[in-house]
Chains A and B, each alone.
Chain A
Amino acid sequence: MSAGTVPATRALGDFIAGYRPDGNDIAAARRSLLEARRGAVVGATTTTAARLRDIASDATGATNVPSMRAWLTAGSILTSGMDDAVAYGSGGAAVWSALDSLPNDIDEGARLSAGAIGLRLALALYRAGRYQESVRGFSGSGVFGVLAAAASCAAALGLDATRASAAMAIAASQAEGLSIDSGWTTGILHAASAARDGLVAATLAADGFTGAGDVYESRQGFGEAFFGLAESRLDGLVAQLESGPPLQQELRFKVVPGHIDHQRPARTLHTLLAEVGVARGVLLEGVPPTSGGNRFSSPVTPEQALHSVRHTLARIAEHGTVTLDDLERPDQARLDLVEVRSSSRWDSRLVDPEFAAWEVTVTTADGNRLTADPGTVPATADSRESAAAWRDLAGALSTDVTAELAKLDEGA
């Protein structure tokens, strides 16, 4: 390890105790929190969320256990399909659910600061790990989600650097989640478990529970388990913590419920349909073969639909958007309208300068074709687009739900 480099486990604790998010990070955190709360309201109406409520009731004996409340809230947010995304997967759902379930009183400013700290920490560790956890078969939402939640709760509880490191040491041993889970209840549970376990890790640490002081960087530690990087190979962490991208650049907000990989094709299709009116067919080409958004060609459950770009585009072609009702009945989608083609791993501009990463092509009723490049549309929805997306999603829901959403909008 080079001289002057802080060991990773200690660096995480120092960051939690010492970092002060700037105004931009707070603004980004505020937006993420709003999306999470909208997701909790809307997600609670889904059949999957109802199932999660039953499970939580069985697990708690119908009592109000804070950590299971966090579990349920995060799970419900994910069922809405509109949870915000960061580079490693689901972003705010676990963090805000954990913070909102802490039994302590935390003012809004402290909550936003804590959430920003958690997200930045998890993203820094994700980058220091050089994305190897996915190669090994693990899901980023689960592995890093619990770290984000634990760091956020540790910050909110005002833990000093030593206890914050302990919280992270505990959370390291609760990092879980397999790639194969996407599209099943287990995929939803990545964020749910992350929220629950992050809250528990911080709470235990606050009361003196300790872990290994070098669990991230040592032999047989977190870095080696998830990234194959032990000992000094997490040196890049400190630089990422100190100088990582602003949260505003990291957070991605959605325009339609579904995987983050659906958003650009969806926006592109919206634009094309605005021009042509009705499409007889839609072709999406160039989807990366590893995209989690293309897991299911013919989905039969809401979870599968959220990972089916074919389903998302079919619904947009049918009636301009994706509703919660669409997600509940994915087998009724006009999938015949949409064809999805994956790219190969060798496709790139290095080989073919004319290569376009991906394209959306609509075929009109009279056989004309119109093509657009999803790479040219923004990757994330702005506030206005998000608000409109939530209104569309909630359109068929009860007046109670729309009223709750309206209240959140007013407070925003």
Chain B
Amino acid sequence: MTTFAQNVARFVVSAKPSDLPTADAQAIERSIFDTVGAMLAGVVSTPGTISTRLAATEPVGPATVIGTGLRRAPTTASFANGLAAHADDFDDMGGYGHPSAPILGGLLAAVEIAEGEGRTVSGAELVTAYATGFELGVALCQTGNYDQYERCFHSTPVFGALAAACASSRVLGLTADQTADAVSIAAAASAGIGRSSGSMVKPLHAGYASRSGLLAALAARRGATASPETFEGSGGFVQAIFGHRALPLDAIADSLGSPFRAASTIYIKRFPCCGSNHSALNGVEELITEHHLRADEVEELVVQGMMETSPVLRFPIPATGTNAKFSIQYVLATMLSKRDVQLDDFRDNAIQDADVLSVARRVRPAVVNRWDEQGAAKHKGNTVVVRTTDGRTLTASVLRTEILGSPKRPIEEDALTTKFLRNATLSIGAERGEAAAGAWRSVGSADDVSKLLELVA
């Protein structure tokens, strides 16, 4: 009888680039491109800056800390890059939270280890490796109906570490047995407290998961072991994380790559804040476009259908820029006041804007009673209802599955590149950003990914 880890490993090792449908490969390429951009912006954020300072105290190593000019130990680089990717909450989402930040942090460091060992990793191989990890994270999280708000462990690092382990194992050339151990070792490193959202520790989760996944692969390659029943056994991953052991692990393993899920799952973010804001943000943007709505016309803005556990209810009056990304009041007020929501709106000085705060006080989230039928549809999105000063009532409703950046409504190519360039300019400047954009946008056809890393060093 094979274990879950063995079944997963078989999938990881045997997947071929030709197995990946074009749509999924393209979705992953867009995600990789977008996430590298997010790293280039995140590295100049407060948590990114502190992380870079820590890396700077360490000796020179073989791996790139993106956007800093530093080369450090692979585990240091994976941690710093994973953290940077998620620092602004501008990285992609879907599947198991923020999928790309933890995978890519570990995966890019694994590429440089492989390169140091004389093995070149192509873009096609990078994309395939990513896909194997993404599949495991999504399959476990979604099939298991993992609810991070009830179980309290942040889904991004818990499943992201597993995904990073798969992807890193693939690039480092681990055997099936070693990959099974790597995934199990990563499972043993599951960590990340949900309450940390709205603090600097949230992006640290992504960095931690990147490093855990990479280290798990390196450890397994050297013969480190984990219990073969790490997932299904008593005192194992499923029991600890899900709170029970009744997960259909065989079915989950069989579902990997059948079909691949990237194209139907990954959302590229339009706004640099918690994804739970985006349905309402899209709704308000619609009202602004259709009705030329101005902030001073708003008497009250009600956001309907807010889950009791919604993370964006945490900070009605945010004290820091990081808090503000989890404040539905602040983000909608910003959209109304400035017609957009951008990175600069979350700098600590920006959240003192008196005009924006005045509008924020007119935003009222309507929390759904948990016994209400609507409460069950918690992932569908939020309707926004505006009462204007002249007596009108304006309503907009954008389903979460149809927000700009969703698989159904992808961000257009120009906008994706513009986002990358704006992000990249913050750390490596406009000129280098242009060169990097051209190369990273076609990462899937690159002969040698390590050469692309030089462009964003």
Q: A-side interface residues toward B, CB under 8 Å?
A: 51, 54-55, 58-61, 63-66, 68, 103, 136-138, 169-170, 172-181, 183-186, 189, 193, 197, 200, 203-204, 207-212, 214-215, 218-222, 224-225, 301, 303
Known contacts: A169-B196, A170-B201. The answer to whether A180 contacts B233 by CB under 8 A is: yes
Q: Is the CB of A63 within 8 A of B195?
A: no
17 more contacts with CB within 8 A, not counting A58-B74, A208-B46, A211-B201, are A51-B222, A51-B223, A51-B224, A54-B222, A55-B218, A60-B74, A65-B59, A136-B239, A172-B196, A181-B188, A186-B224, A203-B54, A207-B53, A209-B204, A210-B199, A220-B152, A220-B195
B60, B63, B72, B196: the one contacting A212 at CB < 8 Å is B196
What residues on B are CB-neighbors of A208 within 8 Å? 46, 50
Q: Is the CB of B73 within 8 A of A173?
A: no
* Nearest CB of A to B61, in Å: 4
A178, A185, A197, A218: the one contacting B195 at CB < 8 Å is A218
A61, A66, A175, A180: the one contacting B74 at CB < 8 Å is A61
* Nearest CB of A to B102, in Å: 13
Q: Is the CB of A173 within 8 A of B240?
A: no
List of 3 A-B pairs having minimum Cβ-Cβ separation, nearest first: A179-B235, A137-B240, A225-B152
Bound Cα distance A136, B154 (Å): 16
Task: Write the chain B residue with the least CB distance to A53.
Answer: B222
Known contacts: A63-B61, A174-B208, A212-B201. The answer to whether A184 contacts B215 by CB under 8 A is: no
Bound Cα distance A28, B151 (Å): 38
Known contacts: A137-B236, A173-B204, A208-B50. The answer to whether A180 contacts B223 by CB under 8 A is: no
Q: Is the CB of A185 within 8 A of B219?
A: yes
Known contacts: A68-B73, A173-B205, A178-B240. The answer to whether A211 contacts B219 by CB under 8 A is: no
Say if the beta carbon of B391 comes within 8 Å of chain A: no
What residues on B are CB-neighbors of A197 within 8 Å? 208
Bound Cα distance A107, B223 (Å): 38
B77-116: CB near A (< 8 Å → 1, else 0) gives 0000000000000000000000000000000000001001
* Nearest CB of B to A109, in Å: 25
Q: Is the CB of A185 within 8 A of B234?
A: no
Known contacts: A60-B61, A65-B75, A225-B152. The answer to whether A220 contacts B222 by CB under 8 A is: no
- The 9 sampled A-B contact pairs (Cβ below 8 Å) are A51-B224, A137-B235, A170-B204, A185-B185, A189-B188, A189-B224, A209-B204, A212-B197, A225-B153
Report which residue of B189, B223, B233, B309 has the largest number of chain A beta carbons within 10 angstroms of its beta carbon. B189
What residues on A are CB-neighbors of B60 within 8 Å? 63
Task: Write the chain A residue with the least CB distance to B77.
Answer: A61
Q: Is the CB of B218 within 8 A of A64?
A: no
Bound Cα distance A64, B58 (Å): 8
User: Which residues of chain B from 421 to 454 have a CB within 8 Å of any chain A CB?
Assistant: none
Bound Cα distance A143, B392 (Å): 55
B50, B195, B222, B309: the one contacting A209 at CB < 8 Å is B50
What residues on B are CB-neighbors of A211 within 8 Å? 196, 199-201
Bound Cα distance A107, B151 (Å): 42
B46, B57, B234: the one contacting A180 at CB < 8 Å is B234
Known contacts: A65-B76, A181-B188. The answer to whether A58 contacts B54 by CB under 8 A is: no
B50, B219, B240: the one contacting A55 at CB < 8 Å is B219
* Nearest CB of A to B194, in Å: 4
Say if the beta carbon of B368 comes within 8 Å of chain A: no
Q: Is the CB of A181 within 8 A of B226?
A: yes
Bound Cα distance A412, B157 (Å): 43
A169, A176, A177: the one contacting B199 at CB < 8 Å is A169
Q: Is the CB of B225 within 8 A of A186?
A: yes
Task: Write the chain B residue with the least CB distance to A203.
Answer: B54
B57, B73, B190, B239: the one contacting A60 at CB < 8 Å is B73
Q: Is the CB of A219 within 8 A of B188?
A: no
What residues on B are CB-neighbors of A63 within 8 Å? 58-61, 72-73
B220-262: CB near A (< 8 Å → 1, else 0) gives 0111111101100111110110010000000000000000000
B74, B196, B225: the one contacting A215 at CB < 8 Å is B196
Q: Is the CB of B195 within 8 A of A181?
A: no
Say if the beta carbon of B160 comes within 8 Å of chain A: no
Say if the beta carbon of B417 comes within 8 Å of chain A: no
Bound Cα distance A136, B152 (Å): 13
Q: Is the CB of B226 within 8 A of A225?
A: no
Task: Write the chain A residue with the least CB distance to B243.
Answer: A136
Known contacts: A136-B240, A170-B204, A178-B237. The answer to whether A65 contacts B73 by CB under 8 A is: yes
Q: Is the CB of B227 within 8 A of A181?
A: yes
Task: Write the chain A residue with the least CB distance to B60.
Answer: A63
User: Which residues of chain B from 329 to 343 have a CB within 8 Å of any chain A CB?
Assistant: none
Q: Is the CB of A186 within 8 A of B196?
A: no
Say if the beta carbon of B184 comes within 8 Å of chain A: yes
A178, A193, A204, A224: the one contacting B50 at CB < 8 Å is A204
Known contacts: A54-B222, A137-B236, A184-B227. The answer to whether A209 contacts B57 by CB under 8 A is: no
Q: Is the CB of A222 within 8 A of B193?
A: yes
Say if the beta carbon of B187 comes within 8 Å of chain A: yes
What residues on A are CB-neighbors of B218 within 8 Å? 55, 58-59
What residues on A are CB-neighbors of B225 within 8 Å? 184-186, 301, 303
What residues on B are CB-neighbors of A138 within 8 Å? 240
B294-337: CB near A (< 8 Å → 1, else 0) gives 00000000000000010000000000000000000000000000
Q: Is the CB of A176 within 8 A of B188?
A: yes
Q: Is the CB of A207 within 8 A of B73?
A: no
Q: Is the CB of A173 within 8 A of B113?
A: no
A103, A172, A176, A214: the one contacting B57 at CB < 8 Å is A103
What residues on B are CB-neighbors of A185 within 8 Å? 185, 219, 224-226
Task: Write the chain A residue with the least CB distance to B308.
Answer: A219
Bound Cα distance A173, B233 (Å): 24
Bound Cα distance A54, B60 (Å): 19
Say if the beta carbon of B133 comes within 8 Å of chain A: no
What residues on B are CB-neighbors of A184 within 8 Å? 225-227
Q: Is the CB of A58 within 8 A of B198?
A: no
Say if the beta carbon of B137 comes within 8 Å of chain A: no
Bound Cα distance A212, B326 (Å): 13
What residues on B are CB-neighbors of A215 within 8 Å? 193, 195-196, 199, 201
Report which residue of A55, A173, A183 has the largest number of chain B beta carbons within 10 angstroms of its beta carbon. A173
Known contacts: A59-B218, A180-B234. The answer to whether A65 contacts B58 by CB under 8 A is: yes
B42-79: CB near A (< 8 Å → 1, else 0) gives 00001100110110011111110000000011111000
Q: Is the CB of A210 within 8 A of B200?
A: yes
Q: Is the CB of A212 within 8 A of B198?
A: yes
* Nearest CB of B to A167, in Å: 11
Bound Cα distance A203, B199 (Å): 17
* Nearest CB of A to B107, in Å: 15
Known contacts: A60-B61, A207-B54. The answer to whether A174 contacts B191 by CB under 8 A is: yes
